[in-house]
Structure 1
Amino acid sequence: MNGPSRITLAMTGASGAQYGLRLLDCLIQEDREVHFLISKAAQLVVATETDVTLPAKPQAMQAFLSEYTGAAPGQIRCYGKEDWMAPVASGSGAPTAMVVVPCSTGTLSAIATGACNNLIERAADVTLKERRQLILVPREAPYSSIHLENMLKLSNLGAVIVPASPGFYHQPQTIDDLVDFVVARILNLLDIPQDMLPRWGEHHQGCDE
């Protein structure tokens, strides 16, 4: 199996709920175990931007998302924002990779300063301190100097910043195509197989001079 078998996926209150939900679906289809975290603001964004209404309680949310994605029993694990006994809160139990998508600039700031005021921030802090893979997908425009400074700090600490900026060289026809572009980039970084977007030059045949 390429890529990590266990992944922490967090959704926070920036626009772009479709990215997080699509990534969750892809991870489940690739038989990964997902530790799912979501902020209250992100739940509101999900309800605003999609036709999905997530239950508030972690256990109910876990059942809902398992049915929504077709996950096997135990494949998705949901935790509350102050569940400090969750595996993601400790380096001895956390998955080897974490993705925050979408990542609000507030969450970006908290991670950059090591705030750890909730489980999402703590999980990201654990990922950084254990030198594991942390992927942050901000969706904001324009970026202020504060945002950019936080991104640079996190990049220097080993995090990968993937702005939710879909490309157009694959000639997208639908909004789903644009969402898949960003999700495919995340999956590539995780080294998890995906067939939504060919890698650049993958089908290039070259030419004779």
Structure 2
Amino acid sequence: MSNKRFTLAITGATGSAFGVAVLRRLAENPGVEQVSLLLTPTGRRCLEDETELTQEDLLAISPKVRHLYENDLGADISSGSHRQDGMVVLPCSAGTLGRIASGTSENLVARAADVCLKERLPLVLCVRETPLNRIHLENLLRVNDSGALVMPLMPSFYHRPETLEDLYEAFATRVLDRLGLAEEDGRRWKG
């Protein structure tokens, strides 16, 4: 379980604080060697509007975090020969979902997701859109049928969160589970 490499994309939908929680947890995990961070232009704006964090703040979380530019289609994660262990898009905008569902690799987020699908690596899409129209629903089915895990940004409340941070962290636990990085968390359902 050591030396894992993951990609995290924060795209232009509300809920970027959930992505930050996943980034922190990936960076803190001793089994993770590297996290490639992708911020779309609207993802960067949502991040700053919602959390007052900047790209530089995210890079300062850990030396394990490296930033890749959305338009760099020559980046290592755009190739199936690059060793990688999975990708999370959180939040995943409806536009990003559509690009992934259609297989267009016009930016590094869509291309890295496409690589995960073709290489059968975990791809977790935390879609944040409401209400959903038929196009969104069809795109969700397309990515699901192609091997992605659709995990809508729907936090749980059974653990009785007292802060927004509790919501972010409980959701991050579920995302890390999907990547094979199960951690102890007192917020898990106990029955």
Both proteins in one fold, TM over 0.5: yes
Distance 2:183 2:163 in 1: 18
Identify the match of residue 153 of structure 1 among 116, 122, 142.
142
Aligned residue type for 2:58: L
Matches within 5 A, 1:52-131: 52-54=53-55, 61=56, 64-67=57-60, 69=61, 71-72=62-63, 75-131=64-120
TM-score by length of 2: 0.92
Aligned to 1:42: 43
Distance 1:36 1:100 in 2: 10
Distance 1:163 1:197 in 2: 22
Distance 1:192 1:120 in 2: 22
- Unpaired segments ≥5 residues, structure 2: none
Q: Note if 1:170 corresponds to 2:159.
A: yes
Aligned residue type for 1:182: F
- What are the superposed Cα offsets for residues 96-121 of structure 1, whole Å, 9 maximum, x if unpaired? 20100000000000000011111111
Aligned to 2:121: 132
- What are the superposed Cα offsets for residues 10-34 of structure 1, whole Å, 9 maximum, x if unpaired? 1100000101111100001003210
Distance 1:198 1:181 in 2: 6
SS at match of 1:151: helix
- Structure 1 runs of 4+ aligned residues shifted over 4 Å read none
Distance 1:197 1:190 in 2: 19
Q: Note if 1:179 corresponds to 2:172.
A: no
Distance 2:182 2:28 in 1: 10
Q: How big is the shift at 1:198?
A: 4.2
CA contact (8 A) 2:159 2:188 kept: no
Distance 2:129 2:68 in 1: 26
Instruction: Figure out how many residues of one structure are paired with residues of the other and give that number.
Output: 189
CA contact (8 A) 1:100 1:135 kept: yes
Question: Cα 1:137–1:104, aligned 2, differ >3 Å: closer, same or farther?
Answer: same
SS at match of 2:38: strand
TM-score by length of 1: 0.85
Aligned to 1:200: 189
SS at match of 1:112: helix
- Unpaired segments ≥5 residues, structure 1: 55-60, 205-209
CA contact (8 A) 1:181 1:197 kept: no
The CA RMSD over aligned residues, in Å, is 1.6
Distance 2:119 2:183 in 1: 27
CA contact (8 A) 2:125 2:149 kept: yes
Aligned to 2:25: 26
Q: How big is the shift at 1:197?
A: 4.5
Aligned residue type for 1:51: E
Distance 1:158 1:15 in 2: 25
